[in-house]
């Protein structure tokens, strides 16, 4: 849905209804795995996630989508074998899959904005104290959007650095100004990441995290 070619950042958001368009891009093993999934939503997410990353990387590298090979890790994000200088990341939520492609380490998170029980408790348990203070100062009607903006920024930054929630939550701080503007800095351990909101479907938030130095 959005891209910034001048900085070599490309973002796509695809509805799961487009699943059939991506089956042809999968490897034989990916198609076989998808066919074993009985849950239609999980199957569609698998197909679109893998097909979309193949489509974007094929366009960037000039290779055939079906010939691309990936290194899949139990922990951390997948990467393209012989990456040719490209990094990518994928996220899904609700009826959509989002993917980002960049020339530097990158991460993306897509979240569906929805009511969350005990939101203040979750904020204090999982977010940095600076983020919590800034969130508590928001008007009540802005807190739901603010919660998901910060959560998505944290996930995007952690994924950019190759960390999952278990390793990254306590080590991550997003500049609270992200609640009021589309870009900010995040710190994950000793690493600095730029986080930025991109266009998202109505009722969703998409944040990209990327290393700029």
- Measured on CA atoms in the order 88, 93, 97, 98, is the torsion positive or negative? negative
Strands (E), the chain: 2-4, 9-15, 70-71, 79-80, 87-93, 96-102, 106-112, 172-174, 183-188, 191-198, 204-210
- CB–CB of 200/1 below 8 Å? yes
Is the pTM here over 0.85, yes or no?
A: yes
Relative to beta strand 79-80, strand 70-71 is antiparallel
| 3-class secondary-structure state, position 53 | helix
**Cα(13)–Cα(91) distance, integer angstroms:** 9
Q: What integer pLDDT is reported at residue 76 of this predicted model?
A: 66
**Cα(30)–Cα(110) distance, integer angstroms:** 23
**Cα(14)–Cα(62) distance, integer angstroms:** 22
Q: Spell out the domains of the chain, with CATH numbers in brackets.
A: 2-107 (3.90.470.20), 109-210 (3.90.470.20)
Q: What integer pLDDT is reported at residue 7 of this predicted model?
A: 53
State the CB neighbour count (10 A cutoff) for residue 134: 20
Tens of pLDDT, residue by residue, the chain (213 residues): 444 444 579 999 999 999 999 999 999 999 999 999 999 999 999 999 999 999 999 999 999 998 899 988 766 678 888 767 899 999 999 999 999 999 999 999 999 999 999 999 999 999 999 999 999 999 999 999 999 999 999 999 999 998 888 888 899 999 999 999 999 999 999 999 999 999 999 999 999 999 976
**Cα(54)–Cα(99) distance, integer angstroms:** 10
């Amino acid at each position: 849905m959005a891209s910034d070619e001048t900085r070599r950042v490309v973002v796509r958001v695809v509805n799961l209804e487009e699943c059939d368009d991506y089956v042809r891009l999968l490897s034989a093993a990916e198609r076989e795995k998808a066919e074993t999934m009985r849950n239609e939503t999980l199957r569609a997410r698998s197909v679109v996630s893998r097909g979309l990353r193949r489509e974007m990387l094929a366009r960037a590298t000039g290779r055939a989508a079906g010939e691309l090979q990936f290194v899949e890790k139990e922990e951390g994000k997948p990467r393209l074998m012989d990456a040719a200088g490209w990094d990518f990341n994928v996220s899904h939520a609700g009826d959509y899959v989002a993917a980002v492609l960049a020339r530097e380490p990158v991460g993306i998170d897509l979240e569906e904005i929805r009511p969350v029980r005990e939101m203040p408790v979750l904020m204090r348990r999982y977010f940095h104290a600076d983020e919590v203070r800034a969130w508590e100062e928001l008007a009540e009607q802005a807190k739901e959007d603010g919660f998901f903006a910060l959560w998505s920024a944290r996930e995007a930054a952690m994924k950019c650095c190759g960390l999952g929630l278990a390793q990254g939550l306590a080590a991550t701080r997003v500049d609270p100004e992200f609640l009021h503007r589309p870009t900010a800095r995040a710190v994950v351990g000793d690493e600095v990441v730029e986080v930025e909101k991109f266009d998202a479907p109505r009722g969703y938030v998409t944040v990209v995290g990327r290393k700029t130095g």
